[in-house]
Structure 1
Amino acid sequence: MVSAPASGTGKTTVMLGLLAALRERGLVVQPFKNGPDYIDPAFHRAASGRESVNLDSWAMPGAMLDGLAGLAEGADLVLAEGSMGLYDGVAAPGACGNGAAADLALRMGWPVVLVIDASGQAQTAAAVAQGLARFRSGLQLAGVILNRVASPRHEALLRAGMEEAGLPVVGALPKRAAIAMPERHLGLVQAEELPALTDLLRAAGDLVREAVDLDALIAAAESAVRPAPPLPIPPPGQRIALARDAAFSFVYPHLLHGWRRAGAEVLPFSPLADQGPDPSADVCWLPGGYPELHGATLARATRFRDGLRGFADRKPVHGECGGYMAMGEAIIDKDGARWPMAGLLGLVTSFEKRKMHLGYRLARLAQGIPGHAPGSSLRGHEFHYSTILAQPDAPLAEVTDATGAPVDETGSTRLQPGGGLSTGTFFHLIAPAP
């Protein structure tokens, strides 16, 4: 488990460098991502050549975690990237933990490599690392990677502190702004949006190869993956029309894996290329993404909108977050421009005045969605900056956050004239809840 005391330590850059450097050595490395992040796994896949899967102790029951970890079968090494700080999770436990990276490391028996941002400190970094190592009984610390080291003298002071604390240092990375990951309003940009991604991964791999003791890192790994059959994830239909392009890029890899494992066929189409869903599909699924960045293109995509409306008249369509917004009447972008959407639902959202909505969600469905009957409970995660201006349709679910507090973003449902059901949520489904 590659983790850190906090976000912003350079953990993702280190993770990508490790994946690239180990792959160059000829090792097959299986990446995982702790928690509900949907950006990092695409970078993991580019660096490792293997699909990265989210593992989430708040949303996923233990049997699902064990089964998904079994996807590492055939790999030489597992590297899991933590989220936020090592022990950071929600206050109330969920399916089998609070979502922290430490929960996952303890369950799987994976030793932790701490990435410490050494900027502005010296021996004190060892006190931070020592506190993290001792905070929870049973957690195994494999070593420390010092990041953003300013000079050889700085490195010597850092190493002296770690030696005094009895903590092994497996690497020391100098500051190198050229491989910093670019950011934007929802965190990192998507992997497919970086034309220089290959160069960035090569630079990160070179840096790690020069500055990290890969042999020590490999030696610290434990044989702790216990392959198990994953819990079945009910597909929304036998043939699933899935929107898939730069505007609708986010669907959890474990869902696609589960759908296909259940025998479903996924039929991708691109709204940005003005394509509609395959009429032979049983259901259409519009994932999250960044439709607000492509408002003009989507507004001009008449074949997409007409095809989606025709499909929705008789068959179920479900949208998550960005997909939900695209099913609504309109999206207002950050500049105040209003772009018409599909109009399957009355939702109107605005990015003109941004407001962050972030956190785990537990939903009890008042109306079923494809694959899940009315009354079902679902665990998911919400992260967006849109403001609801209108949400006139019937609420889809009773939604609470991880503490049980009600959430206003209930989703929407509308029966179309031909009998098709249109549904949408602001949260991304992770797993069914008991």
Structure 2
Amino acid sequence: MRAIRRRHSVPTVLATVSFVVALLVPSLAPASAQPPPVADLATSRPAVATSVVRFVNADTVNIRSGPSTSTTVVGQARRGTMLVGTVSGGWLRLEQTPYVGRYVSLSVLTTTRPPARRLWTGYANALVKETPASTARTLATWPAETALTGTLIHGWIQLTSGSLSGRWVFGDYLTTTDPAVPLKPVSGTSPVAAPGTTVTRYVVAPNITPAIRAGTTFTSTIMARTTNGQAFTGTYVNSSWFRITSGTYAGRYLSAALLQRSASLSAVDGRLPSVQLCPLPSNLRTVWEPVTTRYLQCSARDALLVLDRDFYAKFGVHLGIDEGYRDLAKQQYFYDLWGSPIAARPGTSNHGLGNAIDLYCPPPPGTSTQSPYSWGKPYDVWLKANALGRGWQRPAAYDKPGPGSEFWHINFVG
């Protein structure tokens, strides 16, 4: 499961824009390929009098060659996609290129247009387009963290207010984070107990293998690795370290940032109480959301500052952090925007636990700059050799070039 993705490097963004442009090309993608969502009404062929408009009301739906679940799947559409066609039994017969004459089950469609969202531009120079295509005429350019309201339609936001209502902004330029309220207060208490109090805590760290160490530093020997959901009994040495007092690893240590009162991922992911989160200094911010403060769980934040200190000593620049903690609303936006596996299902992301960062990636399309953190570059080589000794590590599944890899993502593993 690809559980941690958020946004993309320039090649990925360019590929995504090309992907959206492909929505408007009247050619049918083979079922074996990654199918694009169907085109929006704004770029579809004119509807006949008996046509109806429906919207996808599921994460993804299959587009089939005929009005039966036994027919061939020729494409897919994501939640919120606008479909135009005629009703035939329990199916909608589409009238949109590239799926004219294909079918979608009415059981996964609704007559209600997706609700408008309050969003902000994440990058500077966000382009407002006449139609939802990267090649369309640009009507305006907005600075970073400009507020807007609009409806998500297969990767684009159609504006619903202001003088540009009805026009389009590419969804990857946008964020749900209000720069004036970067961390919404969430009530709750820290799972850290008073030193000396014996408690049971659970590892909540999906898709990584947290380190059990010999001592209370990140240079201490890793004695073993644990997994998500494992229970440990012990005491907190301080707010950063937990000492295991029973079982195979009695006398060993886990980072407090990886432990919760229960093993329920959905109870905490994207819902961490404010008391568990600490801000990153402004010198770690980048061109993405330049005003907005980033947060991590406090122990992870402290470890990142050590990593940044040593990185700065080596290269003379600070680490650039695109994102840290991500609340549930933000993860939901990216999931609705791109779907799985590009974005994690809400409630399953390491970003939602405040234990993951995305390193600086280049600005969006229009620049030829390659990220200094990409494969084999000096930053990447140094981080692979040194991050684990400061409590951080790139997931193994992302740790080599190729499909599904993410050179920009690293997790706190303790």
Q: State the TM-score, normalized to the length of structure 2.
A: 0.28
Higher helix share: 1
Please report the TM-score for the alignment, with normalisation by the length of structure 1: 0.27
